[in-house]
Amino acid sequence: MPSEEPKPRRRQARGERRIASLLQAAANVFCTSGYTAASTNAIAREASVSPGTLYQYFPNKEAIAVELSERLLHQMRETHGQAFTPANLALPLDRMLDAVLDPFIAFNVENPAFLALMHGSEPIPGQIAEEHDALHASLLTRVESLLGHYLPDTPAAERHQVAEMTFALFKAGLDLVMTHEGAERDAYVTELKRALFRYLDPLIGDAAHPAESGIHTP
Amino acid sequence: MPSEEPKPRRRQARGERRIASLLQAAANVFCTSGYTAASTNAIAREASVSPGTLYQYFPNKEAIAVELSERLLHQMRETHGQAFTPANLALPLDRMLDAVLDPFIAFNVENPAFLALMHGSEPIPGQIAEEHDALHASLLTRVESLLGHYLPDTPAAERHQVAEMTFALFKAGLDLVMTHEGAERDAYVTELKRALFRYLDPLIGDAAHPAESGIHTP
DNA sequence: GACAAACGCGAGTGGTCGCTCGCATTCTTG
DNA sequence: CAAGAATGCGAGCGACCACTCGCGTTTGTC
> Tens of pLDDT along B131-144?
999 999 999 999 99
Same domain flag for A72 and A136: yes
Asked if pLDDT for residue A214 goes beyond 80, the answer is no
> Residue B46 sits in which domain range?
1-58
Residue B42 near residue B87, CB atoms below 8 Å: no
Single residue among A58, A73, A89 that ends a domain in this structure: A58
Question: Once rounded to an integer, what is the mean pLDDT over residues A19-23?
Answer: 98
CATH number at residue B196: 1.10.357
Same domain flag for B93 and B22: no
A2 occurs within a structural domain: no
Nucleotide nearest to A15 (CA to C1'): C7
Same domain flag for B73 and B177: yes
Same domain flag for B30 and B79: no
A3 occurs within a structural domain: no
Indicate if CB(A53) is under 7 A from strand D. Answer: no
pLDDT, tens digit, for every residue of A101-158?
Answer: 999 999 999 999 999 999 988 889 999 999 999 999 999 999 999 998 888 889 999 9
Rounded Cα distance, A79 and A105, in Å: 10
Rounded Cα distance, A47 and A27, in Å: 11
Same domain flag for B111 and B22: no
Rounded Cα distance, A198 and A173, in Å: 14
CATH number at residue B7: 1.10.10.60
Same domain flag for A86 and A193: yes
| Sequence letter at residue A52 | G
Render B106-168 in DSSP notation, one character per residue: HHHHH-HHHHHHHS--S---HHHHHHHHHHHHHHHHHHHHHHHHH-TTS-HHHHHHHHHHHHH
Nucleotides of D under 7 A from a protein CB: 5-12, 16-22, 27-28
By CB atoms closer than 10 A (0-12, 13-18, 19+), residue A131 is middle
- Spell out the alpha helix ranges (H) of A91-125: 93-110, 112-118
Question: Which candidate in B165, B185, B212 is best for mutational testing of the A interface (most A CBs within 10 A)?
Answer: B165
The backbone torsions φ and ψ at residue B59, rounded to the nearest 5 degrees and listed phi first, read -70, -30
Same domain flag for A47 and A95: no
Same domain flag for A76 and A154: yes
Indicate if CB(B52) is under 7 A from strand C. Answer: yes
Report the number of distinct structural domains present in chain B: 2
Cα–Cα distances (Å) from A90 to A33, A80, A83, B178, in that order, read 41, 16, 12, 35
pLDDT, tens digit, for every residue of A86-96?
Answer: 999 999 999 99
Same domain flag for B39 and B121: no
The answer to whether A191 faces chain B, any CB pair under 8 Å, is: yes
B218 occurs within a structural domain: no
Report A:42-81 residues touching B (Cβ under 8 A): none
Rounded Cα distance, A32 and A117, in Å: 11
Name the residue among A120, A122, A168 with its Cβ closest to that of B172: A168
Asked if pLDDT for residue B3 goes beyond 60, the answer is no
Same domain flag for B139 and B156: yes
Single residue among B36, B58, B80 that ends a domain in this structure: B58
CB contact under 8 A, A218 and B175: no
A4 occurs within a structural domain: no
